[in-house]
Structure 1
Amino acid sequence: MRAELGIRTIRLVLVDDHAILRQGLRAVLEREGDLLVVGEASSEGEAEVVVRAMSPDVVLLDLKLSAGSEFEGLSLCTTLSAAHPGVGLLVLTTFLDEDLVVRAVHAGARGYVVKDVDTTELVRAIRAISAGESAFDARSAAAVVRSLNGRTEPRQQLTDREMEVLRLLATGLSNQAIGERLFISATTVKFHVSNIMRKLEVTRRAEAVYAASKRGLI
């Protein structure tokens, strides 16, 4: 059908550790006349084998491919970009972390979109990658621009007091206990914690500690 209509088919490989998600993506993408899923993989090793065997135009991959590794997909990007420089790598992930976007680009990804993107935008990104262009959703593009401008840490800096609160927060202390340690009220501690979460772009205390540890703040 595609050949008869003279449509250039874009061959895709889907890499995600969730079979249901891969099946859903396949069903959605193959509604498009020019998209054809020629292979699937659930791990880094499987992906290398499938890409080598199927020679796709675009590989759509998640960054988290196992419970034991947060960003196994970064390693896969590096491997595939080195072994198959003609293949377009498009990251499709739940992670919206500006440092991670930049690392993915450095690893060889030509595009980065978050899984809540709508189908139209995803298809547009796939076609752009296939044509040798780059494709980023608005949030990811902002991170790349900042990186190109030499500002890979766009977030506001934490004050000295916020760093003190953050370190105590990481030990599991309550606002009341942190206040007693720093000789400030629990209400003031709550204010500092709110600022910390806002600056680290998270919504929970545990996420703040995790984000801070990833950036080497604690």
Structure 2
Amino acid sequence: MSDPSPNLLNVPRLLFDLHQANRIAQSIYGCLDAREIANRVTQELVEQFNCRLARIWLVERQFPHLKLVASSGLYTNTDGCFGQVPMGAFKVGKIAQNRVSFLSNNLADEPWVKDRDWAIHHGIQGFAGYPLATPETVVGVLAVFSCEPLAPEFLEILLSLCTTVTVALGNALEFEKSQHSKSAQRSPLNLPSPMLSDRLAHILQRVPLKLVGTERSLPISLTYLFLRLAEVVQQLNCMTCSLIYEQEFAILRSIVPVSEAIALEENSLQDSFLPHEIEHISFASTCLGGRLEAILDSPQTILQIALQLPYAQEPNPIRVRVNMRSPALQFAFSQMVVAAGFSLCVTPSKKIPLISDRSSLIYESQYVVWVQHDSPIIPKTVKAKIDLETNPRQLRQAIETIMGGGIWGIEDDTQTQPTLSVREREVMKLLTQGLRDRQIANRLYISESTVKFHINNTLAKLKAKTRMQALYQLMQNGWFDDRR
């Protein structure tokens, strides 16, 4: 078979790069710290795409310049000679000013390069610079440097990733701006801190607020959630609010009008009615041992929203780790773990139960709970199987059963996913990078016939007819997903 046209994109490589970029997008989901977002993106570009250097500059509105906020790879400091770049100066400043991307695979030969010897010394060949811009404004600039020529597949994915990063940074910067604005309106530091009822009254403005019980000082975590809920219900034209202090709980109860156009039968609401912040508050309250309820009262024109939080939170003794491919499922099962009475953990350990749908992580724990939702096949080594209809009580039973040495939810006729050897996984992963059999053999110091042997073994295990089918199955089941 003749070689494919060099003008065509390498489909396996494109799929793999898309998979990696999706993981970067997931890592910044919900983050409202602009510097943290920038740091995560540059670090992932270096680790996942083998970039020699990745940097992000953000536009500082009060001054006409770009400020370097994240640098990963060859340099990690952000206060060097490119720490601040005036708009229009150097290539980075021109990218921001003109909102035009720039690509090169011969960096040392470019006339605009300030220090050609630096590029030659470090073997830098590829450079890509993209403006992080919306139709209205420029947020910053993303630049990557590589020791190898930048593949067209990577450049396609990087362009798409820049859009995601721009949106995330824009949201974070708007959030930080609003926080600074609120901070400027607060009382001087030498005055005593106002009680929660005073702060709620300030947010709710003309909404009647009723205080029930003796007011007491609350931890900052509880105070924050109550204030966030007050901001949300105030946007929903709240009719009245009550702050209630009981013996073990503090409760903020509000009444919100619901128009007939969005009121539905059987006491349910359209998902679009309540802001997304409600989900975040609900999850955080669950982590603190509380709960948030939204109840539609008859005749379905009034919505009661109540946040109940305990004064003291007892730490849960058993820690559980959740690592899902989808951010929505990550959120849902993290919330379920807390609702089941466990503590969330992010550090991998053989002794810590793992809830996941990623095949690449099943060796990280002795107690794997597999989430089955898009395929009837499960890995052979898992000890428990749950699905999207599992409730917190069942999850607790599953984890307690497997930690006691048993198996939960796996029937004898359950289809199991074949286990690939380390070498088979290495060969298949190199295939996703567009390498040919001979190149893989050279990379792994094995013969070309051995490479074909491992590929044929993998196809047989997966019952795949072609390499493309096998790669698709492996990607869908997270075999190449090394995220921790």
Same fold (TM over 0.5): no
What's the TM-score once normalised by structure 2's chain length? 0.20
Higher helix share: 1
What's the TM-score once normalised by structure 1's chain length? 0.35
Please identify the structure whose Cα radius of gyration is greater. 2
Higher RCO (C-alpha 8 Å, min separation 6): 1
